[in-house]
């Protein structure tokens, strides 16, 4: 199975990149399943049901999120009714929505007569982030449940600290197919297959305008740092790039065969 993970989609420019570039990427790389982090896709702040619909129509199969989950009040509609939409697993159990799900994938390359299954899990870190349940213990219990149905499991770890992300990847090495980080909007160059077969990347980067500061206009960000005064961080407009990772998984074992960073510019 080939999985494409798309890093944090930022605003309308990021959505445009997905709409235009995803069909080509899917065909060129024979991608079977597409996961995208959509927590910044609504003007750089949160996500709405309409925007989630846009992403699904563009070819995204599952959407993950993070600490900007609650920025749009209509997100509750997705949490209650959309099984392809995930929020961080390590919220308290009473919070609506789901942190993981299993999806059917009918791969034309697979010799299996029945669809393959892929588990997708969304977890949020705690270092320099809002308080959450322990991501390690919460994820371990969920991985055990997912593995009762499939060995192919992808994890979006939404976190700030590289040390926490690396530790999490090592913790689940051999028990999931891939752990890819999000949140920092800076694509890292540490893609690797860990010793027990888990593909790992500290951060997939972001999909959107790269002529600003993490997808935002530069001047307000500079003014905030110079004065400490609140600013409105509008989404930048130019140098639009789709960032992500392409991961190939062995269908029988669930172990990663390869991981490749993606940086596709929108011309």
pLDDT tens, position by position, 78-97:
999 999 999 999 999 999 99
pTM for the structure as a whole: 0.96
Domains contained in the chain, CATH given: 2-265 (3.60.21.10)
> Cβ neighbours of residue 17 under 8 Å, at least 6 residues apart?
9, 207, 208, 240, 241, 242, 264, 266
pLDDT tens, position by position, 125-150:
999 999 999 999 999 999 999 999 99
pLDDT tens, position by position, 232-259:
999 999 999 999 999 999 999 999 999 9
Both tokens assigned to 233: 């961080």
Strands 199-201 and 178-182: parallel
Rounded-to-integer distance, Cα 249 and Cα 83, Å = 23
Rounded-to-integer distance, Cα 229 and Cα 35, Å = 37
Handedness of CA 5, 17, 86, 156 (dihedral sign): positive
- What pLDDT, on the 0 to 100 scale, is given for residue 9? 98
For residue 54, how many C-alpha atoms fall within 13 Å in the half-sphere facing its CB? 19
> Cβ neighbours of residue 113 under 8 Å, at least 6 residues apart?
none
* pLDDT over threshold 80, residue 71: yes
Spot the catalytic one: 68, 158, 185, 243. 68
- What is the rounded (10 degree) CA torsion for 159, 163, 168, 173? 130
pLDDT tens, position by position, 27-68:
999 999 999 999 999 998 999 999 999 999 999 999 999 999
* pLDDT over threshold 60, residue 111: no
Q: C-alpha 248: how far from its chain's center? A: 16
Q: Is 68 a catalytic residue?
A: yes
For residue 177, how many C-alpha atoms fall within 13 Å in the half-sphere facing its CB? 31
> Cβ neighbours of residue 137 under 8 Å, at least 6 residues apart?
none
């Amino acid at each position: 199975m080939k999985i494409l993970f798309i890093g944090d989609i930022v605003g309308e420019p990021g959505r445009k990149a997905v709409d235009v570039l995803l069909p080509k990427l899917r065909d060129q790389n024979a991608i079977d399943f597409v996961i995208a982090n959509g927590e910044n896709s609504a003007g750089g702040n949160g996500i709405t049901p309409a925007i989630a619909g846009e992403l699904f129509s563009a070819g995204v199969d599952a959407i993950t999120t993070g600490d900007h989950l609650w920025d749009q009040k209509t997100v509750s509609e997705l949490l209650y009714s959309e099984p392809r939409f995930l929020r961080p697993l390590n919220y308290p159990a009473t919070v609506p929505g789901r942190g993981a799900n299993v999806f059917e994938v009918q791969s034309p390359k697979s010799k299996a007569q029945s669809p393959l299954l892929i588990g997708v899990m969304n977890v949020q870190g705690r270092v320099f982030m809002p308080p959450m349940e322990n991501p390690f213990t919460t994820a371990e219990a969920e991985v055990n449940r997912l593995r009762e149905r499939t060995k192919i499991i992808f994890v979006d770890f939404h976190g700030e600290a590289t040390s926490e992300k690396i530790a999490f990847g090592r913790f689940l090495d051999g028990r999931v197919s891939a752990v890819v980080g999000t949140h920092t909007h800076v694509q890292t160059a540490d893609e690797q297959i860990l010793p027990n077969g888990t593909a790992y990347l500290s951060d997939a980067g972001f999909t959107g305008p790269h002529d600003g500061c993490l997808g935002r206009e530069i001047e307000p960000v500079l003014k905030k740092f110079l004065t400490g005064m609140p600013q409105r961080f509008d989404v930048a407009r130019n140098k639009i790039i789709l960032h992500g990772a392409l991961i190939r998984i062995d269908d029988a074992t669930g172990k990663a065969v390869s991981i490749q960073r993606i940086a596709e510019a929108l011309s």
